[in-house]
Chains A and B, each alone.
Chain A
């Protein structure tokens, strides 16, 4: 069964460093999302992406964040200068867009900023 994959599973970085979180969505999916979950809290929407552009972004998704689909398979989230409060689990999700049915979530990347 096809699945969304994310790498790395865990990333540790120093405050102020740039990180790139990678996702490979399911191949025939057209809509892509990033969510984050701070430990012990709810899952929060960051950004949605369709047709090579951002469809919607939340207040969390400020100028330090960017997304890219560089090669038609990978979908990346870049944080330019990490802050302590960026420590969280980051989930990538994708869907076909044909119906309201589920967004398929990846296993997540746990980002720890020291």
Chain B
């Protein structure tokens, strides 16, 4: 069975500093995708970044990068130069192959607070 674990219920970071949000996963599928979503207090789910299990390079999207360590089964999100608007819940998710339904399995989330 697939599982996603986020061990940091809450994190604080100073504005303009970098922060790493941890995510570990477990799966027996050789092919999978890893995602990070941001959920501000307004409730919507905002896609941030995606990493494929066969991707050789770590994914980057602007200030977001994914530190993918396949052997350790970790997919940590790094946010550089934190902004006040980054304060939100962050969810790591893994998806099963489409021929198995394609569902996303989410971790418990990490609440990030950016201090001015």
The reply to whether the CB of A65 lies closer than 8 angstroms to some CB of chain B is no
Determine whether the beta carbon of B105 is less than 8 Å from that of A101: no
Q: Which of B36-56 contact A (CB under 8 A)?
A: 37, 43-45, 47, 50, 52
The reply to whether the CB of B28 lies closer than 8 angstroms to some CB of chain A is no
How many residues belonging to B are interface residues under a CB distance threshold of 8 Å? Answer: 23
Using a Cβ cutoff of 8 Å, how many contacts connect chains A and B? 61
Determine whether the beta carbon of B102 is less than 8 Å from that of A31: yes
- By a CB distance below 8 angstroms, the chain A residues around B109 are 42
Determine whether the beta carbon of B52 is less than 8 Å from that of A91: no
Nearest CB on B from A108, distance (A): 6
- Give the size range of A's interface with the partner: 20 to 34
Determine whether the beta carbon of A100 is less than 8 Å from that of B33: yes
Binds A, one of B14-22, B65-73, B74-82, B93-101: B93-101
Determine whether the beta carbon of B107 is less than 8 Å from that of A42: yes
| Complex: chain B residue closest to A55, CB-CB | B101
- By a CB distance below 8 angstroms, the chain A residues around B25 are none
A102 and B47 in contact, given A48-B101, A48-B102, A55-B101 (Cβ under 8 angstroms): yes
The reply to whether the CB of B103 lies closer than 8 angstroms to some CB of chain A is yes
Nearest CB on B from A23, distance (A): 13
The reply to whether the CB of B83 lies closer than 8 angstroms to some CB of chain A is no
| Complex: chain A residue closest to B44, CB-CB | A107
- By a CB distance below 8 angstroms, the chain A residues around B102 are 31, 33, 48, 55-56, 95, 97, 103
A97 and B47 in contact, given A42-B107, A43-B91, A48-B103 (Cβ under 8 angstroms): no
